[in-house]
Structure 1
Amino acid sequence: MSETKITIQETTNNTILKFNSTAILINGGSYEFNNIDEAKNSPLAQELFYLPFVKKVFITANFIAIQRFDILEWLDVQEEVKEQIEAYISDGNIVVNEQRTSKKEAIEVYAEVTPNPAVMKFGVNKALTQTDVEFKNIDEANASSPLAQAIFNFPFVKEVFISDNYISVTKYDMVEWNDVYGEVRTFIREYLADGKIIIKELPKEETIATENNVAAPKVVLEGISAQIVDILDEYIKPAVASDGGNIAFRSYDEANKVVSVVLQGACSGCPSSTATLKNGIENLLKEMLPNMINEVVAING
C-alpha cells in the first residue's frame, strides 16, 4: 500500500481531534467505539485504546476522530498519535473488519427531480461518503470510485456527483429522465445491496478541476474564509443538498471582498443557480458578514 498521509484537524470540542486520511479507510458508513471491548472488529481502534488518554474512537471513510480524557492536552500527544496512525495504515493493516455476509443489505433508493432538468437525485438510506466527490467523466471515476465508474456505463450519463446520502446523475440530452430513471435507480440499489465498493480513494487534487483546468487550490481556513465556510455549511449546503446539489467554497479575495464558490451536482449548469447565488447566498453572506462581502461568483464544478 502506498504511504498514507494524516493531517490533524481541530473540532469545536477541544477534547476531540480529527485525523484526516488521504486513503479510504472503510467502505462507507461509520463506526463508533466507546472502549476496547466494543472495538473487537477494529484492530486500529483497539491499538488506540491502549493509549491511556483515549476515551472514544470514531472511524469513517476518510478520518478518525478521537476523544481524550482530561488527563492531558492534545498538543502534548497529537503528533505521536498522527505518526502511529500513519504508520499503521501505510503498512496495509486492517482498520475495521467490515461485516461481509451472503445476505444482501436492505437498501432503499428513491429518485427525485431537481431544479436542473438534466440532473436526477437518487437518495439512499446508506452513508456513502464523508467527502463529496464529483466526476466529469469515466476516466476520472476509474481511479477513485467503482460505483461512479459503473454508473458511467450507461451511455446517457454525463457526470456523477456522490454525497453523504445521495447520488446526483447528470444526463446528456439524448434521453429523458422519465424513460431511464427507473433503470438507474434499480442499478444503484442492487450495487449497494451487494456491498460493493463505493469509493476506493479520494480524487487527487488535480482531477477536481473546472472546465478550464484550474484545479481547486488548498485553502487555509482562517478569518473571514473560515466564517464563510461555516455559513455555507450551516445555512446553504442543507438546502442545495435537498435538490441534489452542492456549493463548495473556493476562495475569498479580501482586497475586493469577492467570494468564489464551486457549483456541483444539480447546481452545476442549473438554470436557477444564478438566482440562488445572488438572491440567496450573496444576500445571506452580506447580512451575516456586514461590509466584508461585495459579490459572490460561481464556477461550475
Structure 2
Amino acid sequence: MSRSTINLSRSIIASSSRSISQPKYSSTIVKRSLTSSSKCAIATSSSSAFTRFRSNNGSEMRRKDVILSGMRQQRRTMFIQTETTPNEASLKFIPGVPVTQGGTHEFLDLRSALPSPLATRLLTIEGITGIFFGPDFVTCSKDESFQWSILKPEVFAVLMEHFSSGKPLFKEGQEESTAEDTRILETDSEIVGMIKELLETRVRPAIQEDGGDIEYKGFEEDTGIVKLKLKGSCRGCSSSSVTLKNGIERMLMHYVPEVQSVEQVLDEEELIALEEFSKLEARLEKQKSNEPKKSE
C-alpha cells in the first residue's frame, strides 16, 4: 500500500472519530439507551465502533468507559396501580413488588411510623392520616377535607422513589415480623384454634383484598364473643359493622357453634374520637331543640 493511501485512510478514520465524538451524538446514545432495549443494542454497537477508532488514546478510552457505564445503567420503570376500597377515605396502592414479608403494619401518627422511613415520608404529606402496609400493597387513608386527585401524585412520587431504590421498609434493627395473632399456640383450646384458622385462611385474605386487615384479640368462652380489631381501610369504614356481623360473625357461627357474636375492639384514640363525636351530636341536637323557642 502506498504512503498516500495510508495517509488517506488515517484522515478518514480521524474525521469519522471526530464526527462520532461530538457531544450531540453522545447525548443521542444515552437518550436511545433509555427508550427501548432494541435501540440500546444499536447504541452499544455504535460505541464499540467509537472504541476501535480511539483505542490508541488513553484519555478517549476512559471517556468511552464512562459513556458505556452510563448506558448500562438502565432506568427502572414501575407501574403503581390503585384500587378503591369500601372506605372512600382509603386508597390501595399496588407497586407490583412485595411490600412486607407476609405480615401487616399500621401507622396512625409520626411517632409510630419512626421505625419505617417510608411510612414517615407518607405521613408527612398533608392530608394523609394513616398508612397500612400489606404483603403486596400500601393503603393510605386521608382526611375528608382533601381530595385524592391532589394527594395521589405526591403518594406516587414517594412510593416510586422508595421501591425503585431498593431501600428496606424498616430501619436497621427494626426488622418486621409476621402476624402472630392467628398463630395457633399449644395453650389454645380446640375452639380458639378453629377460630384462628378460619380467620387466617378465610377472613384475612378477603379483608386484605379491600386494603385492610383484622387482628384477633381474644375469645370469651363464657359469653361466646370473639373480639377483633379492624385495621387499614377497614378502620373507620361505614361498612365495617356490616363486615363484622353479616360476614365474619355468620361464618364463625356456622363453623364454630360455640361462637355467639363478634365484637370490634377500639383503640384509645378511637374511643376518645367516638366520645367527642357523641358530645358534638348532643350539642347539635340541643341547639335544634332550642331554635323554635328563640323564634317565638
Q: TM-score range by the shorter chain?
A: 0.5 to 0.7
**How far has the Cα of 1:156 moved from its partner?**
0.9
Q: What do residues 12-71 of structure 1 show as CA deviations (whole Å, max 9, x unaligned)?
A: xxxxxxxxxxxxxxxxxxxxxxxxxxxxxxxxxxxxxxxxxxxxxxxxxxxxxxxxxxxx
Q: Distance in 2 between matches of 1:104 and 1:276?
A: 43
Deviation at 1:124, TM superposition (A): 2.1
Which of 101, 104, 111 is matched with 1:139 structurally?
A: 111
Contact 1:133 1:202 in 2 (8 A): no
Say whether residues 1:149 and 2:116 are aligned partners: no
- 1:259 maps to 2:230: no
Is the contact made by 1:264 and 1:300 (CA closer than 8 Å) also made in structure 2? no
2:291 aligned residue: none
Give the corresponding residue for 1:280. Answer: 247
What code does the residue aligned with 1:158 have? Answer: T
1:120 lines up with 2:87 in the alignment: no
- Does 2:157 align with 1:186? yes
CA contact (8 A) 1:104 1:193 kept: no
The structure having more radius of gyration, on CA atoms, is 2
What SS class does the counterpart of residue 167 from structure 2 fall into?
Answer: coil
- Equivalent position of 1:298 in the other structure: 264
Structure 1, unmatched stretches of 5+, are 1-100, 205-215
Separation in 1, partners of 2:73, 2:213:
35
Letter in 1 for 2:84: V
Identical-residue share of aligned pairs (%): 28
Aligned ranges 1:62-141 → 2 under 5 Å: 105-130=76-101, 131-141=103-113
Structure 2 counterpart of 1:293, which letter? V
Query: Could you say which structure has the higher helix fraction?
Result: 2
User: Structure 2 regions of 5+ residues with no counterpart?
Assistant: 1-71, 268-296
1:270 to partner: Cα distance: 0.3
Amino acid at match of 1:181: K
- Structure 1 or 2: larger strand share? 1
State the Cα RMSD in Å: 2.3
Residue 238 to residue 203, structure 1, CA distance change in 2 (3 Å)? closer
Q: Distance in 1 between matches of 2:204 and 2:75?
A: 32
Higher relative CO (Cα under 8 Å, sequence separation at least 6) belongs to: 1
Contact 1:252 1:259 in 2 (8 A): yes
- What amino acid is the match of 1:267? C
Return structure 1 stretches of 4+ with deviation > 6 angstroms: none
Deviation at 1:285, TM superposition (A): 0.1
Q: After superposition, give the CA deviation of every residue in 1:189-210 in whole Å (9 maximum; x if it has no partner).
A: 2211111221232589xxxxxx
TM-score (norm 2): 0.58
Q: Distance in 1 between matches of 2:205 and 2:224?
A: 25
